[in-house]
Amino acid sequence: MKLDERNALITGASAGIGREFARQLAGRARSLILVARREDRLSEVRDKLTQQRPSLTVHIRSTDLANLSEVEELTTWLEQENIHVDLLINNAGLGDSGPFAASDPRRNEQMMLVNMVALTSLTRRLLPQMIARKRGGILNVSSSAGFLPIPEFAVYAATKAYVTSFSEALRAERVHSLSRPGAN
Ligand SMILES: NC(=O)c1ccc[n+]([C@@H]2O[C@H](COP(=O)([O-])OP(=O)(O)OC[C@H]3O[C@@H](n4cnc5c(N)ncnc54)[C@H](OP(=O)(O)O)[C@@H]3O)[C@@H](O)[C@H]2O)c1
């Protein structure tokens, strides 16, 4: 996907794989919107990237993706700022291990909210604009943990099975819509 003059939103950009996505996209996109909870980490990523690429615009949004009203605030902010997201990278995610019966209910809930619910909500909010503009892409970060149930990673593996299934279904919808007469 050509990203010149395009805007990319990356969730979980304060660390790990998301931070690396930001680094790699910095030389290709016009602007990046970096989302995670830790604002200090996001500022650090922004400062480093803009130092290396002064023409790049980097927005940072401290957002708890386990909090649905904060996810809503993020998409409202995008609309208010008139920022069209051309590439959405749903990368933020968390895991846990151990027997399910002894697991922390709050952690399980957060895993489901971040790995599945926020990913689905952001996709639902941003995909129609991409379809209307006839350009855009969504990259959902899943895991090989989603291929089969994994004892002692029960919730994490199940959330990633959801991510893979959901993403493949959307891809098939796109192929289907492109194969309709008159579609381009
Ligand atoms: N690392 C691996 O080996 C591996 C393998 C397969 C798949 N994955 C997947 O790859 C993705 C990234 O993994 P990683 O290893 O880079 O993880 P990581 O280093 O732990 O980073 C996770 C990122 O997600 C953000 N995040 C977590 N909870 C959040 C919340 N409630 N709201 C907003 N942001 C939140 C964190 O930011 P804050 O803490 O600042 O909020 C952080 O930026 C995940 O979806 C993971 O399941 C990883």
**Is 80 exceeded by the pLDDT of residue 20?**
yes
pLDDT at 4: 80
160 noted as active-site residue? yes
Give the whole-angstrom CA distance, residue 35 versus residue 49: 15
pLDDT at 174: 84
Mean pLDDT of 158-176: 93
CA 5–ligand 1 middle distance (angstroms): 27
Q: Which residues contact 90 (CB under 8 A, 6 or more apart)?
A: 11, 118, 119, 122, 123, 138, 139, 140, 141, 163
| Chain segment 91-141, per-residue pLDDT in tens | 999 999 999 999 999 999 999 999 999 999 999 999 999 999 999 999 999
Give the whole-angstrom CA distance, residue 118 versus residue 1: 24
What pTM was computed for the model? 0.96
Stronger pLDDT, 133 or 175, i.e. the higher one: 133
pLDDT at 2: 79
Mean pLDDT of 61-89: 98
Ligand 1, pocket-test mutation among 11, 20, 37, 111, most atoms within 8 A of CB:
37
| Chain segment 23-50, per-residue pLDDT in tens | 999 999 999 999 999 999 999 999 999 9
**Is 90 exceeded by the pLDDT of residue 1?**
no
156 noted as active-site residue? yes
Structural domain spans, the chain? 7-179
**Is 90 exceeded by the pLDDT of residue 175?**
no
Give the whole-angstrom CA distance, residue 13 versus residue 7: 15
CA 114–ligand 1 middle distance (angstroms): 9
Mean pLDDT of 2-11: 90
pLDDT at 135: 93
Mean pLDDT value across the chain: 95
CB of 65 shorter than 6 A to ligand 1: yes
Confidence of residue 82 (pLDDT cuts 50, 70, 90): very high
Domain 7-179 classification at class level: alpha beta
CB of 91 shorter than 6 A to ligand 1: yes
